[in-house]
């Protein structure tokens, strides 16, 4: 990771934190910080991705602006975090897409949806597009399975490869070795950290989602988004399984597993993304970086729109609107697949990687990293402290 | 918008821990309460925003505290650190009061955490606030707002008019405009005077100009002065304040915890003339750090330099300011603005006095010098491994001891021996009754919390009677 203004500023603030340490009960970032005396660029990149942006430290900080030290750790780490997305992007040539990510993701989505809509309109017979299809394989009458599945699979596999390469870049940069990935315990602990959002709890009583007050709303909304997404993914997987192995083609009945999963996941995604978007609008702007809002909103909107279009398609699949809605839904999903490695979505990869690094560090830190100043074993600071008499 | 014609039941002067404890207690008893905080919202909370724990008595282990810490041990500790400059009755009221304070604090939204890394010695006696003092202050303000307590920021109380032992009104400056506020009872919780350099100069002369004030710049002691001038009895030694060695590059005010330096026992400390002046290895650092503020205050220019070599570089907590580093002692002297030949002579002299022994930072290792004055009696190693490093040091003032005299019901006492009828005090402004000297980690917050609660309760009872 190269030096940037944000990294230099984050390092300055981390040094204040390391001399203060009042926040070590909030999350994993501060204990990780305390395991170091100096901070390389890669250390800062790691800490930035370990931060879940709960903002507890900002409101507790005696050095927050307008104090001269101007410590605003959540904000500067968010800025560094965003820079790491570019720094670790694969291939390197695409790093620039994180520069104005909100615009680029939105434009990419708009273009891809348009291309799919225009393509279907151009290549497909209007009678087919606007016809009513309810038979097995009805969707493939509008967009052939080979096109829909083939295109999605190619794009998806590419995006997964790009994510893996991003992870590799992060891992190497933060001093990781491949052999570290072989140990099952830290991996399992990391999975638990990710699935529970353990560090999005502000040390147990909630985060500063909106302002000084504490809540667990953001954690729950993220859970709704994350699990909603995973359930939708499971829905797609089930449908693929039915189609490939049972030769049972979509559309599936309302009570079938793919539809039920899709509905549950879709509701989760809509609630989660809408809620997270709302939180971004109403929350205190001081500990956030306004210029990063676009990237967040673009991904949230895309995921929400996919879910919404999915419900529209489900509701109107027996009407002449099905063809158009299918093209819209497929276009949005395809757009999402395309932007996966070049959008805010990557935060999940680097967050998980940072959590894994944290678990490995915890396991390896058997001895204290520094020798503490000697302490009397008995009375601690109470013992014989007195101020010399004046003059 | 505040209605200045209204008469509140309780007016609280100040906005730190003691003030908010009083305000919340008074409101819980049904009183209408106004809090006047000199600082703006960002810097509210006085010195409480820089604190991190309070000392509590407990009979058995709790979720965050190990072992037990009983009244007698607590009292003995206090007696020792104050050298007897305390009031046993008030002290015991405070000590006992801490037991019930903790659950009340939790109800007010204050959260706790295990003792911080590097403070293991406090894990039995001191309860740490999750996120530190500012998080605690935030919790109290949120509770106060929820309860309907009126809070005015940027409001400095200039004077409390005492007439026949009764406070009639408060003269304030609110957002730069003068105003008068009436209340049935008053709680003075406006802290000490450590940020008032002119006042410090009375005792310390021009040396006070070189002090760094570790906490809030709002602790001007205005109400303390005002009350003492109106015949209120005083407690605590006016000439004393708690001072530690801080990095000389610390801001004039509000540097807080990060400016303190723990390098001294593993270094030698020289003054402006490159001379050593005190045994750096006299005892464990937690037992000695509180004397170094004064030691440096008595040096010319109130400046000193902690000098060590690369062997000792990682033996203490990192400082917030960069270490000053040079390949030779002469280069280091140039960077520090010291006379190079003198510094070389001091270090040569020290090095030749160092005896061979087993250095061990964890114990009193008796690695001592021989034949130099002052000696270094522990952790003395040759300074011979470049790069050489240094931190500049100044006295950092934590708090002053002078306060108003109070009863065990937090009533303010007049010089006549009578109590002021409707004036109560809590926190740093009366801590000198109990902590007349010395220092005990987290005890200021114990006094503020316990007497804040008493003052609030008594003030409400008086007002509603």
Which class for B214: exposed (0-12), middle (13-18), buried (19 or more C-beta within 10 A)?
Answer: buried
Helix then strand then coil, in percent of chain B rounded to 5, is 35, 25, 40
Q: Within its chain, how far is the Cα of B151 from the centroid?
A: 24
Q: What CATH number corresponds to the domain at position B126?
A: 3.50.50.60
Structure tokens at B457: 């309760």
One domain, residues B94 and B195? yes
Kindly write down the DSSP assignment for every residue of A252-292, as one continuous string: PPTTSHHHHHHHHHHHHHHHHHHHHHHHHHHS-STTS-GGG
Reduced to 3 states, what is the DSSP secondary structure of residue B92?
A: helix
CA-only gyration radius of chain B, Å: 24
Reduced to 3 states, what is the DSSP secondary structure of residue B4?
A: coil
Handedness of CA B453, B454, B457, B460 (dihedral sign): negative
Q: In terms of DSSP bridges, do strands B419-425 and B241-247 run parallel, antiparallel, or are they unpaired?
A: unpaired
Long-range CB pairs of A29-37 (<8 Å, 24+ gap) are A29/A57, A29/A73, A29/A77, A29/A199, A30/A57, A31/B117, A32/A358, A32/A361, A34/A369, A34/B117, A35/A361, A35/A365, A35/A369, A36/A369, A37/A369, A37/A370, A37/B314, A37/B318
What is the Cα–Cα distance from A198 to B47, expressed in whole angstroms? 33
Tokens 């300055």 belong to which residue? A12
Reduced to 3 states, what is the DSSP secondary structure of residue A91?
A: coil
Q: Is a pLDDT exceeding 70 seen at residue B202?
A: yes
Partners of residue B121 in chain A, C-beta under 8 Å: 375-377, 379-381
How many CB atoms neighbour CB B178 within 10 A? 9
Structure tokens at B451: 């007497």
One domain, residues B389 and B422? no
What is the Cα–Cα distance from B66 to B384, expressed in whole angstroms? 42
pLDDT of amino acid B254: 96
Contact criterion met (CB below 8 Å) for B427 and B19: yes
pLDDT of amino acid A367: 42
How many CB atoms neighbour CB B322 within 10 A? 12
What is the Cα–Cα distance from A168 to A174, expressed in whole angstroms? 10
Q: Is a pLDDT exceeding 50 seen at residue A377?
A: no
pLDDT of amino acid A390: 31
Distance (Å) of CA A180 to CA A184, A355, B136, B285:
10, 13, 40, 40
One domain, residues B49 and B119? yes
- Whether residue A237 is preceded by a cis peptide bond, meaning omega within 30 degrees of 0, is no
One domain, residues B251 and B219? no
Is the Cβ pair A16, B258 closer than 8 Å? yes
- Over residues B377-401, the mean pLDDT reads 96
Model confidence pLDDT, tens digit, residues B151-169: 999 999 999 999 999 999 9
One domain, residues B104 and B205? yes
pLDDT of amino acid A294: 96
One domain, residues B380 and B448? no
Model confidence pLDDT, tens digit, residues A39-54: 999 999 999 999 999 9
Reduced to 3 states, what is the DSSP secondary structure of residue B162?
A: strand
A203 touches chain B (CB under 8 A): yes
pLDDT of amino acid B63: 86
Return the residue in A17, A22, A210 with the most chain B beta carbons within 10 A, the one to mutate for interface testing.
A22
Q: Per DSSP, what are the bridge partners of residue A97? A: none
Is the Cβ pair B294, A61 closer than 8 Å? no
Contact criterion met (CB below 8 Å) for B265 and B285: yes
B393 CB-near residues (< 8 Å, 6+ apart): B245, B246, B247, B248, B261, B264, B269, B292, B296, B303, B304, B305, B306
Residues 31-50 of A with CB under 8 A from B: 31, 34, 37
The domain in which residue B137 lies consists of 7-234+401-464
Is the Cβ pair B117, A21 closer than 8 Å? yes
Closest approach of chain A CAs to the CA of B157, in angstroms?
23
pLDDT of amino acid B287: 80
What is the Cα–Cα distance from B363 to A180, expressed in whole angstroms? 37
Model confidence pLDDT, tens digit, residues B345-376: 999 999 999 998 889 998 999 999 999 999 99
CA-closest candidate to residue B156, choices B238, B44, B25, B7 = B44
- Over residues A104-108, the mean pLDDT reads 97
Q: Is a pLDDT exceeding 90 seen at residue B172?
A: yes
Partners of residue A379 in chain B, C-beta under 8 Å: 77, 121
- Domain assignment present for residue B133? The answer is yes
One domain, residues B265 and B225? no
What is the Cα–Cα distance from B447 to B48, expressed in whole angstroms? 12
Reduced to 3 states, what is the DSSP secondary structure of residue A8?
A: helix
Partners of residue B54 in chain A, C-beta under 8 Å: none
pLDDT of amino acid B309: 96
Tokens 């409480």 belong to which residue? B48
Residues 245-264 of B with CB under 8 A from A: 251, 254, 256-258, 262
A60 touches chain B (CB under 8 A): yes
How many CB atoms neighbour CB B239 within 10 A? 15
- Over residues B103-116, the mean pLDDT reads 92
CA-closest candidate to residue B266, choices B255, B252, B250, B281 = B281
How many residues are given for chain B? 465
Percent of chain B past pLDDT 90, that is, above it, reads 88
What does residue B110 show for φ and ψ, rounded to 5 degrees? Answer: -75, 135
Q: Is a pLDDT exceeding 90 seen at residue B117?
A: no
The single-letter DSSP state of residue B276 is B
One domain, residues B223 and B280? no
Partners of residue B131 in chain A, C-beta under 8 Å: 22-23, 25-26, 56-57, 59-60, 203
Tokens 């009677």 belong to which residue? B465
Kindly write down the DSSP assignment for every residue of B313-342, as one continuous string: TTSSPPPSSPPEEESSHHHHHHHHT--HHH
How many residues are given for chain A? 391
What does residue B178 show for φ and ψ, rounded to 5 degrees? Answer: -75, 145
Q: Per DSSP, what are the bridge partners of residue B396? A: B212, B244
Domain boundary among B349, B365, B396: B396
- Over residues B265-294, the mean pLDDT reads 93
Q: Give the chain B residue whose CA is nearest to the CA of A376.
A: B284
Domain boundary among B396, B413, B438: B396
Is the Cβ pair B439, A386 closer than 8 Å? yes
Q: Is a pLDDT exceeding 50 seen at residue A371?
A: no
Q: What CATH number corresponds to the domain at position B328?
A: 3.90.700.10
- Domain assignment present for residue B212? The answer is yes
Contact criterion met (CB below 8 Å) for A142 and A120: yes
Reduced to 3 states, what is the DSSP secondary structure of residue B369?
A: strand
pLDDT of amino acid B118: 67
CA-closest candidate to residue A299, choices A139, A155, A158, A101 = A101
Q: Is a pLDDT exceeding 70 seen at residue A15?
A: yes
Q: Is a pLDDT exceeding 80 seen at residue A389?
A: no
Reduced to 3 states, what is the DSSP secondary structure of residue B308?
A: strand
**Dihedral angle over CA of B209, B213, B216, B218, nearest 10:** -20
Q: Is a pLDDT exceeding 60 seen at residue B142?
A: yes
Distance (Å) of CA A245 to CA A139, A151, A184, A232, A255:
18, 20, 32, 20, 20
One domain, residues B389 and B445? no
Confidence label for A206 from pLDDT (cuts 50, 70 and 90): confident
Pairwise pLDDT comparison (B278 vs A387), residue with the higher score: B278
Confidence label for A203 from pLDDT (cuts 50, 70 and 90): low
Closest approach of chain B CAs to the CA of A8, in angstroms?
14
Domain boundary among B348, B364, B396: B396
Structure tokens at B254: 């509000």
Contact criterion met (CB below 8 Å) for B158 and B222: yes
Model confidence pLDDT, tens digit, residues B7-58: 999 999 999 999 999 999 999 999 999 999 999 999 999 999 999 999 999 9
Tokens 């997404």 belong to which residue? A229
One domain, residues B29 and B72? yes
Contact criterion met (CB below 8 Å) for A106 and A43: no
B300 touches chain A (CB under 8 A): no
CA atoms within 13 A on the CB side of A15: 16
pLDDT of amino acid B119: 66
Handedness of CA B207, B210, B213, B217 (dihedral sign): positive
- Domain assignment present for residue B2? The answer is no
Average pLDDT over all residues of chain B: 95
- Domain assignment present for residue B50? The answer is yes
What is the Cα–Cα distance from A336 to A316, expressed in whole angstroms? 23
- Domain assignment present for residue B47? The answer is yes
Partners of residue A385 in chain B, C-beta under 8 Å: 81, 286-290, 438-440
Of A17-21, A69-73, B454-458, minimum mean pLDDT range: A17-21
- Over residues A346-362, the mean pLDDT reads 97
One domain, residues B319 and B381? yes
Handedness of CA B381, B382, B385, B386 (dihedral sign): positive
Contact criterion met (CB below 8 Å) for B191 and B15: no
What does residue B162 show for φ and ψ, rounded to 5 degrees? Answer: -100, 130
- Over residues A180-195, the mean pLDDT reads 94
- Domain assignment present for residue B37? The answer is yes
A191 CB-near residues (< 8 Å, 6+ apart): none
Q: Compare CB distances from A56 to B42, B77, B131 and report the shortest one's residue.
A: B131
What is the Cα–Cα distance from B447 to B54, expressed in whole angstroms? 9
Partners of residue A63 in chain B, C-beta under 8 Å: 256, 258
A370 touches chain B (CB under 8 A): yes
Helix then strand then coil, in percent of chain A rounded to 5, is 70, 0, 30
- Domain assignment present for residue B351? The answer is yes
How many CB atoms neighbour CB A351 within 10 A? 21
The single-letter DSSP state of residue A373 is P
A362 CB-near residues (< 8 Å, 6+ apart): none
Average pLDDT over all residues of chain A: 91
Tokens 């939180």 belong to which residue? A279
B165 CB-near residues (< 8 Å, 6+ apart): B414, B416, B418, B419, B420, B421
Reduced to 3 states, what is the DSSP secondary structure of residue B465?
A: coil
Is the Cβ pair B117, A24 closer than 8 Å? yes
Confidence label for A381 from pLDDT (cuts 50, 70 and 90): very low
- Over residues B114-138, the mean pLDDT reads 88
One domain, residues B211 and B309? no
The single-letter DSSP state of residue A16 is H
Confidence label for B76 from pLDDT (cuts 50, 70 and 90): very high
A177 touches chain B (CB under 8 A): no
Percent of chain A past pLDDT 70, that is, above it, reads 93
Of A115-124, A200-209, B86-95, B380-389, minimum mean pLDDT range: A200-209
Q: Compare CB distances from B262 to A69, A213, A373 and report the shortest one's residue.
A: A373
Widest Cα–Cα separation across chain B: 76
Q: Could you give the number of structural domains in chain B?
A: 2
Model confidence pLDDT, tens digit, residues A44-88: 999 999 999 999 999 999 999 999 999 999 999 999 999 999 999
pLDDT of amino acid B104: 97
Structure tokens at B441: 């980690």
Q: Compare CB distances from B286 to A18, A66, A376 and report the shortest one's residue.
A: A376
Partners of residue B52 in chain A, C-beta under 8 Å: 22
Number of H helices, E strands in chain B: 11, 19
């Amino acid at each position: 990771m190269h030096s940037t203004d944000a990294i230099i500023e984050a390092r300055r603030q981390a040094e204040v934190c390391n001399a203060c340490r009042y926040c070590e009960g909030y999350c994993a970032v501060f204990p990780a910080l305390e395991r170091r005396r100096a901070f390389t660029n890669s250390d800062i990149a790691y800490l930035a991705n370990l931060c879940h942006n709960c903002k507890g430290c900002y409101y507790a900080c005696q050095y927050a602006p307008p104090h001269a030290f101007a410590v605003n750790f959540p904000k500067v780490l968010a800025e560094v975090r965003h820079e790491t997305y570019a720094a670790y992007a694969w291939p390197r040539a695409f790093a620039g897409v994180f520069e104005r990510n909100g615009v680029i993701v939105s434009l990419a989505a708009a273009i891809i949806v348009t291309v799919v809509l225009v393509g279907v309109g151009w290549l497909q017979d209007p009678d087919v597009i606007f016809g009513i299809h309810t038979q097995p394989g009805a969707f493939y009458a509008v967009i052939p399975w080979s096109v829909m599945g083939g295109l999605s699979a190619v794009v998806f596999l590419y995006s997964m490869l790009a994510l893996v390469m991003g992870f590799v870049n992060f891992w190497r940069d933060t001093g990781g070795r491949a052999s570290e990935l072989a140990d099952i315990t830290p991996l399992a602990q990391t999975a638990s950290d990710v699935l529970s959002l353990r560090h999005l709890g502000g040390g147990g009583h909630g985060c500063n989602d909106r302002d000084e007050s504490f809540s667990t709303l953001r954690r729950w909304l993220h859970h709704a988004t994350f699990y909603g997404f995973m359930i939708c993914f499971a829905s797609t997987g089930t449908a693929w399984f039915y189609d490939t192995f049972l030769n049972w083609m979509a559309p599936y009945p309302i009570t079938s597993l793919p539809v039920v999963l899709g509905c549950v996941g879709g509701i989760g995604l809509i609630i989660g993304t809408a809620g997270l978007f709302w939180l971004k609008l109403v929350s205190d702007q001081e500990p956030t970086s306004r210029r990063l809002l676009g990237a967040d909103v673009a991904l949230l909107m895309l995921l929400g729109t996919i879910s919404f279009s999915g419900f529209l398609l489900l509701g109107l699949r027996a009407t002449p609107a099905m063809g158009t809605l299918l093209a819209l839904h497929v276009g949005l999903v395809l757009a999402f697949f395309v932007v996966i490695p070049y959008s805010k979505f990557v935060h999940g990869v680097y967050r998980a990687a940072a959590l894994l690094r944290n678990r490995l560090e915890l396991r390896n830190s058997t001895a204290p990293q520094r020798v503490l100043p000697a302490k009397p074993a008995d009375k601690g600071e109470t013992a014989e402290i007195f101020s010399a008499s004046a003059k | 918008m505040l209605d200045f014609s209204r008469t509140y039941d309780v007016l609280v002067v100040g906005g730190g821990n003691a003030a908010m404890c009083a305000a919340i207690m008074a409101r819980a008893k049904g009183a209408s309460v106004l809090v006047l905080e000199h600082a703006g919202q960002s810097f509210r909370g006085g010195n409480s925003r820089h604190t991190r724990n309070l000392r509590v008595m407990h009979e058995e282990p709790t979720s965050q505290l190990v072992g037990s810490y009983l009244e007698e041990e607590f009292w003995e500790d206090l007696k020792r650190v104050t050298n007897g400059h305390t009031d046993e009755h008030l002290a015991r009221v405070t000590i006992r009061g801490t037991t019930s304070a903790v659950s009340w604090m939790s109800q007010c939204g204050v959260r706790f955490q295990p003792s911080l890394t590097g403070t293991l010695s406090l894990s039995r006696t001191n309860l740490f606030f999750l996120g530190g003092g500012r998080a605690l202050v935030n919790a109290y303000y949120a509770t106060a707002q929820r309860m309907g307590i009126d809070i005015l920021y940027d409001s400095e109380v200039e004077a409390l008019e005492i007439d026949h032992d009764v406070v009639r009104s408060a003269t304030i400056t609110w957002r730069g405009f003068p105003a008068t506020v009436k209340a049935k009872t008053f709680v003075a919780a406006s802290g000490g005077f450590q940020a008032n350099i002119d006042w410090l100069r009375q005792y310390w002369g021009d040396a006070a100009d070189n002090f760094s004030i570790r906490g809030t710049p709002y602790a001007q002691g205005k109400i303390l002065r005002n009350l003492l001038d109106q015949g209120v009895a005083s407690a605590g030694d006016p000439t004393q304040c708690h001072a530690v060695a801080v990095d000389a590059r610390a801001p004039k005010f509000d540097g807080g915890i990060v400016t303190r330096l723990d390098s001294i026992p593993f270094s030698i400390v020289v003054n402006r003339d490159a001379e050593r002046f005190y045994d750096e290895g006299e005892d464990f650092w937690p037992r000695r750090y509180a004397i170094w503020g004064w030691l440096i205050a008595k040096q010319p220019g109130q400046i000193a330099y902690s000098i060590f070599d690369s062997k000792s570089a990682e033996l203490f907590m990192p400082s917030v300011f960069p270490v000053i580093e040079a390949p030779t002692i002469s280069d280091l002297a140039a960077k520090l603005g010291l006379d190079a030949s003198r510094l070389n002579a001091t270090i040569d002299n020290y090095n030749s006095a160092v005896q061979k022994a087993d250095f061990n930072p964890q114990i009193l290792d008796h690695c001592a010098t021989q034949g130099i004055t002052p000696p270094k009696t522990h952790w003395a190693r040759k300074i011979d491994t470049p790069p050489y490093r240094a931190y500049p040091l100044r006295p950092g003032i934590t708090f002053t001891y002078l306060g108003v005299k109070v009863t065990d019901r937090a009533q303010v006492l007049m010089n006549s021996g009578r109590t002021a009828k409707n004036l109560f005090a809590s926190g740093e402004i009366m801590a000198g009754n109990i902590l007349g000297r010395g220092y005990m980690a987290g005890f200021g917050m114990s006094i503020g919390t316990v007497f804040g609660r008493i003052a609030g309760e008594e003030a409400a009872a008086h007002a509603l009677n």
